[in-house]
Chains A and B, each alone.
Chain A
Amino acid sequence: MILVVAEQQRGKLHRASWEAVAFAQELAGDQPLDGFVLGAGPSDSAGELSQAALSAVHVVDSALLEPYTADAYTEALQKAIGDLKPTHVVFPHTYRTRDFAPKLAARLDRALITDCIGVKGGERPTFLRPVYQGKLIAEVAAEGEHPHCVSVQIGAFRADAAKRGSAAAAVKPLNVSIDAAAIRQKAEDPFQEAKQAVDLSQAERIVAVGRGIKAQEHIALAEKLASALGAQLAASRPICDSGWLPMERQVGSSGQTVAPKLYVALGISGAIQHVVGMKGARTIVAINKDADAPIFEIADFGIVGDLFEIVPAMIAELEKG
């Protein structure tokens, strides 16, 4: 049996949970596939998950699982996996999974293959994952005894590709005891730093800058292109980390998710943390001096060259009208 662990927060499934289901269905083939939800009163999420083509949905309901802590999750999952004995455990590769799954794998002393973008099924499945900032794809096999744990990169599978069942899967409560005294982290409520002044998700056009812009004084050049295109200015994480643009203009897993008509990536290599935030754009233009940059894999139009020559030429062209 293969087990897919959905992520939920206060009764709502994380959107990546359905993507993990789609991946797990591909991995499972003809083998039984069960779902799993944990939390404090997660029955609404379990109900939502039971719509998927799954053999059953197991639910661990404990007040100690809210708010989330790595210690409580690790203990609950360790015990549930001990009871259910799956061959593989699939997670969405969310920030939460990144927090507890390696600890769980270490406690079980079993393989964990993170950030997978594909699977080759069969007797001994292998998993595809990006390495070297997405410049190469590694096909990886888990070693040692089952269960093998796998996490699925956000956006690598389509949520609507997850097969729905003809009838709801049976929801089965699972009793596991969690030792309150063993939970060392005390988590406070999540918060947003400031109301985001810039809502990039509504922008029709975006010009985004990455490391290739090289210096803060060159941001003005990108700004000029943005204004000529009628676009909003955005950036990849390193630019905001350096303080060259405010954090609220960051696109990517830790920033905003955007889907404009036009996305112009200037000097952005296309690291996955950025790509997950913008690959929904209808038309993607990449300008980068590195022909091997992964951004070209998702670009509709690409220019391999020096952005400091090409961008002024684009501005001149746009100003001609």
Chain B
Amino acid sequence: MKIAVCIKQVPTREWQPRIDDGKRGVREQDASFEMNEPDAYALEEALRLREKHGGEVVVCTAGPARASQVLREALARGADRAIHVEHERLSSITTDPFVVAGALADAVRDEKFDLVLTGLQSDDQGAAQTGVILAERLALPHATIVMEVQVQPSDVRVKRELEGGWFQWVQMPLPALLTIQSGINQLRYATLKGIMAAKKKEIRKVSPTSLTAAHATVVSLDIPRKTKQTQLISGAPAEAANTLIKKLRDEARVIG
């Protein structure tokens, strides 16, 4: 089977974004980037499905030139080839999901994939929309927040996570699009052999002349306001621990 995995390059989790002078964006120049974590699980799931059913895994991203880094990484983990929809306006930081989904749809439509996988949401913007919009643009049935995938001859049966520890099996015909939840599998990492092999694999560049219009724009960015008055306790570890335990006993009265 032919599987597409859509991945996004996002700033690393440790990065503390700083708002730029225009107050509408962040200072991207001091960010370092990585593969969006739920997308890494989607890639792993695709590789496991290929091991079981044969076929091809194609990774796709829509992003600026720097996004090719996550495609190389995916190729090193075992993907067969890659598609890079490259446009400087497709920065992970500014783009809305309609723009990304539109760009991906145009690039993958003619490939006629049996299955398209994405992570359930991105670690940076967190809209949780791109995969589902992509499904609609490709006229595919979809399921979100998937924790298990069973491929059958002409359909797919998936376990969806619901809230509060509940699950549900859903079946739909192929081709289909699934958004994958973190923790569906155990991730593999690239081996040296994989990294060497990735250098010979194809990254097809697609340069769209125009992008879908954005349906939302950021008016301003701000740091979150505290909802609680936090007492920050400083000092050396022993001293801080002593103060904290005292406060929990005497002020908060939550320990004996």
Known: A102-B97, A191-B166, A238-B182. A126 touches B238 (CB 8 A): no
List, sorted by A's number, 6 A–B pairs whose CB atoms are closer than 8 Å. Answer: A70-B141, A95-B145, A140-B218, A253-B163, A282-B254, A286-B230
Asked whether B254 lies within 8 Å of A283 as measured between CB atoms, the reply is: yes
Identify the closest chain B residue to A144 (Cβ): B215
Known: A112-B215, A140-B218. A191 touches B161 (CB 8 A): no
Establish whether residues B254 and A241, one from each chain, have CB atoms under 8 Å apart when the complex forms.
no
Q: Are B165 and A292 in contact (CB under 8 A)?
A: no
Shortest beta-carbon distance from B27 to chain A in Å:
12
Please indicate the chain A residues that have their CB under 8 angstroms from the CB of B170 in the complex. Answer: 69, 185-188
For B164, list chain A residues within 8 Å (CB). Answer: 254-257
Among A43-51, A80-88, A165-173, A312-320, which stretch is in contact with chain B? A312-320
Q: Which of B26, B186, B254 contacts A205 (CB 8 A)?
A: B254
Residues 134-159 of A, flagged 1 when their CB comes within 8 A of B and 0 if not, give: 11111111111000000000000000
Are A298's CB and B227's CB within 8 A? yes
Do the beta carbons of A114 and B217 come within 8 Å of each other? no
- Nearest CB in chain A to that of B241: its residue: A313
The answer, among A132, A196, A310, for a CB contact under 8 Å with B17, is A132
A186 CB to closest chain B CB, in angstroms?
4
Q: In the docked arrangement, what's the CA distance between A111 and B216, Å?
A: 6
Chain B residues whose C-beta falls within 8 Å of the C-beta of A229 in the assembled complex: 255
Q: Is the CB of A138 within 8 A of B244?
A: no
Cβ A297 vs Cβ B227 within 8 A: yes
- Quick check: A314 and B16 within 8 Å, CB to CB? no
Q: Given known contacts A137-B224, A190-B162, A229-B255, is B167 in contact with A313 (CB within 8 Å)? A: no
Selected from B13, B125, B231, the residue in CB contact (under 8 A) with A131 is B125
Residue of B130, B168, B183 touching A240 (CB-CB under 8 A): B183
Residues of chain A lying within 8 A (CB to CB) of residue B224: 130, 134-137, 294, 297
Q: Which 8 A-B pairs have the closest CB atoms?
A: A241-B183, A313-B241, A102-B132, A184-B141, A106-B136, A111-B215, A102-B129, A262-B254
Q: Does B111 contact A (CB under 8 A)?
A: no
**A295 (CB) vs chain B CBs: closest residue:** B230
Mark interface residues in A182-204 (1 if CB within 8 Å of B CB, else 0).
00111111111100100000000
Q: How far is the CB of B33 from chain A (nearest CB, A)?
A: 13
Closest to A113 in B: B216
Tell me which residues from 233 to 265 in chain A have a Cβ below 8 Å from any Cβ of chain B. Answer: 237-238, 240-241, 243, 247-248, 253-257, 261-262
By the criterion CB–CB under 8 Å, are B168 and A187 in contact?
yes
Let me know if A71 is at the binding interface, CB within 8 A.
yes
**Is B69 an interface residue, CB under 8 A from the partner?**
no
Interfacial residues of chain B within 1-45, with CB under 8 A of chain A in the complex: 11, 13-17, 19, 26
B127 touches A115 (CB 8 A): yes
B244 / chain A contacts, CB cutoff of 8 Å: 285, 301, 303, 314
Q: In the complex, what residues of B have CB within 8 A of residue A101's CB?
A: 129, 132
Q: Is the beta-carbon distance between A254 and B161 smaller than 8 angstroms?
A: yes
A191: chain B residues at CB < 8 Å are 166-168
- Distance A167 CA – B11 CA, assembled complex (angstroms): 51
Contacts across chains A and B counted by CB atoms under 8 Å? 258
- Given the complex of chains A and B, what is the CA–CA distance between A293 and B104 in angstroms? 33
Cα A189 to Cα B162 in complex, Å, equals 11
A314/B168 contact (C-beta < 8 A), A139-B220, A300-B252 known: no
Instruction: Check B101–A193 contact: CB distance below 8 A.
Output: no
Q: Once the chains bind, are B141 and A241 in contact (CB under 8 Å)?
A: no
Using C-beta atoms within 8 Å of the partner chain, give the interface range for chain B: 35 or more
Instruction: Determine if A309 is an interface residue (Cβ-Cβ < 8 Å).
Output: yes
Contact indicator B222/A139 (Cβ below 8 Å): yes
Contacts of B145 in A (CB 8 A): 95, 98-99
B→A interface (CB under 8 Å): 11, 13-17, 19, 26, 97-98, 101, 120, 123-133, 135-137, 141-145, 160-173, 181-183, 186, 213-234, 237-238, 240-242, 244-245, 247-248, 252, 254-256
| A301 pairs with B255, CB closer than 8 A | no
Decide if A143 touches B214 in the complex (CB within 8 Å). yes
Q: Which residues of A contact B133 (CB under 8 A)?
A: 102-103, 105-106
A106 near B219: Cβ-Cβ < 8 Å: no
* Closest chain A CB from B25 CB (angstroms): 10
Q: Is the CB of B240 within 8 A of A144?
A: no
Q: Which residues of chain A from 61 to 96 have a CB within 8 Å of any chain B CB?
A: 67, 69-71, 94-95
Which chain A residues lie closer than 8 Å to B228 at the CB level?
284, 297-300
- Nearest B residue (CB) for A250: B165
Nearest chain A residue, comparing its CB with the CB of B124: A132
* A180 interfacial by beta-carbon distance below 8 Å: no
Interface contact A262-B17, CB-CB below 8 Å: no
Name the B residues within 8 Å of A192 (CB-CB): 165-167
- A121 within 8 Å of B (CB atoms): no
Query: How far, in whole Å, are A102 and B127 apart by their CA atoms in the complex?
Result: 9
Q: In angstroms, how far is the closest chain B Cβ from the Cβ of A69?
A: 8
Determine whether the beta carbon of B215 is less than 8 Å from that of A300: no
Chain A: CB-nearest residue to B155: A186
Contact of B165 among A134, A139, A196, A312 (CB under 8 A): A196
Question: In the complex, are the beta carbons of A317 and B241 less than 8 A apart?
Answer: yes
Q: Take A105-B129, A296-B230, A298-B228 as given contacts and tell me if A138 and B218 are in contact as well, using a CB distance cutoff of 8 Å.
A: yes
Cβ distance B65 to chain A, nearest Cβ, rounded Å: 22
Q: In the complex, what residues of A have CB within 8 A of residue B213's CB?
A: 143-144
